[in-house]
């Protein structure tokens, strides 16, 4: 492979612009490697988050050629290198600097979801018995690496900025994991309807399409939750109204 051109967004909350960098693209390189190479050789103060470099920690989220992705799992050989590769921070969240955004809102939202609360233990030694099949269903949701790419792409947050009234796909996945946890006895359906407003979601699946863990966010988490909410509080008119609000 030869030289590739990267247009990386540089700036702060006050403003910024794309800056062009040229760097060598070698076999197997991912976008994060290129960003690191540029950081080490040309722009020591370039800001980027990362930890594992293996798609396990969800730190390196960004928008590559306009698509929300993990930089460490995006191979250069799957991008059209004849054109510059654009790398910019997630657009739904406030900018801190360069590729780093302020995702603290997500951590606050999580606290508002009712915590796990187990039923009494099944066995005298304080343990529970669970079937693998029941565990499997929830493990899909527990795979979430909290990269917040789904939050970034969800129009309710990205365009409508309903950060105060909507928890976003990541936290529907989280709530689904708790609701379907085999030994949890809490009920979160009322909260999901209001104040978490699951009704705002129009199941467009943008979130599912960007999830690096391939969690079927809409089909397996949101839709079943919506069904449960509807079963418990049947109120079709209001739901319809909320979708178009």
Smallest distance from the beta carbon of 166 to ligand SF4, in angstroms?
8
Element (H, E) at 83: none
Name which of residues 42 to 71 contact ligand FES (CB under 6 A). Answer: 50-53, 55-60, 70
Q: Which does 156 bind (CB under 5 to 8 A by kind): other proteins, ligand FES, ligand SF4, none?
A: ligand SF4
CA atoms within 13 A on the CB side of 14: 0
Query: Can you tell me whether residue 12 is helix, strand or coil?
Result: strand
Please identify which residue in 34, 218, 226, 228 interacts with ligand SF4, judged by CB under 6 A. 218
Which of residues 57 and 96 has its CB atom nearest to ligand FES in the complex? 57
Q: Given the structure tokens 């939202």, which residue do they identify?
A: 109
Pick what 204 binds: ligand SF4, other proteins, ligand FES, none; C-beta below 5 to 8 Å, kind-dependent: ligand SF4
Site string (136-165) toward ligand SF4, x via CB under 6 A: --------xxxxxxx--xxxx---------
Determine which helix (DSSP H) or strand (DSSP E) holds 204, and give its type and residue range.
Answer: none
Match 């966010």 to its residue by tokens: 217
> Of 135 and 240, which CB lies nearer to other proteins in the complex structure?
135
Cis peptide before 119 (omega within 30 of 0): no
Q: Dihedrals φ, ψ of 28, to 5°?
A: 80, 0
Least distance CB 149 / ligand FES (angstroms):
10
Quote the least distance from Cβ 100 to other proteins, whole Å: 5
Q: Which residues pair with 8 in a beta bridge?
A: 19, 87
Using the 8-state DSSP alphabet, how is residue 54 labeled? S
Closest contact distance (angstroms) between CB of 56 and other proteins is: 5
Residue 202 binds which of ligand FES, other proteins, ligand SF4, none (CB < 5-8 A, kind-dependent): ligand SF4
Indicate the pairing of strand 67-70 with strand 15-24.
Answer: unpaired
Q: Kindly report the backbone phi and psi dihedral angles of residue 116, in degrees, each rounded to the nearest multiple of 5, phi listed first.
A: -60, 135
Name the residues that contact ligand SF4, by CB under 6 A.
58, 144-150, 153-156, 169-170, 173, 201-207, 210-213, 215, 217-218, 222
């Amino acid at each position: 492979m030869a030289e590739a051109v990267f247009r990386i967004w540089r700036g702060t909350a006050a403003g910024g612009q794309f800056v062009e960098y040229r760097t060598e693209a070698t076999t197997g390189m991912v976008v994060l490697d290129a960003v690191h190479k540029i950081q080490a050789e040309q722009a020591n103060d370039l800001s980027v988050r990362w930890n594992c470099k293996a798609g396990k920690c969800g730190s390196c989220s960004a928008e590559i050629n306009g698509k929300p992705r993990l930089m460490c799992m995006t191979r250069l050989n799957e991008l059209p290198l004849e054109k510059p590769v654009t790398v910019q921070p997630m657009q739904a969240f406030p900018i801190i600097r360069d590729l780093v955004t302020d995702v603290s809102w997500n951590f606050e939202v999580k606290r508002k979801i009712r915590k796990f609360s187990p039923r009494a233990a099944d066995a005298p030694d304080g343990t529970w018995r669970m079937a693998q099949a029941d565990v499997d269903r929830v493990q899909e949701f527990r795979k979430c690496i909290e990269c917040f790419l789904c939050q970034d792409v969800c129009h309710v947050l990205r365009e409508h900025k309903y950060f105060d009234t909507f928890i976003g796909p990541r936290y529907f996945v989280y709530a689904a994991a708790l609701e379907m946890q085999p030994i949890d006895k809490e009920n979160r359906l009322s909260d999901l309807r209001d104040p978490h407003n699951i009704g705002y979601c129009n199941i467009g699946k943008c979130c599912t399409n960007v999830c690096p863990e391939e969690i079927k966010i809409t089909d397996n988490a949101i839709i079943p939750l919506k069904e449960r909410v509807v079963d418990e509080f049947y109120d079709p008119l209001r739901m319809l109204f909320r979708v178009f609000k």
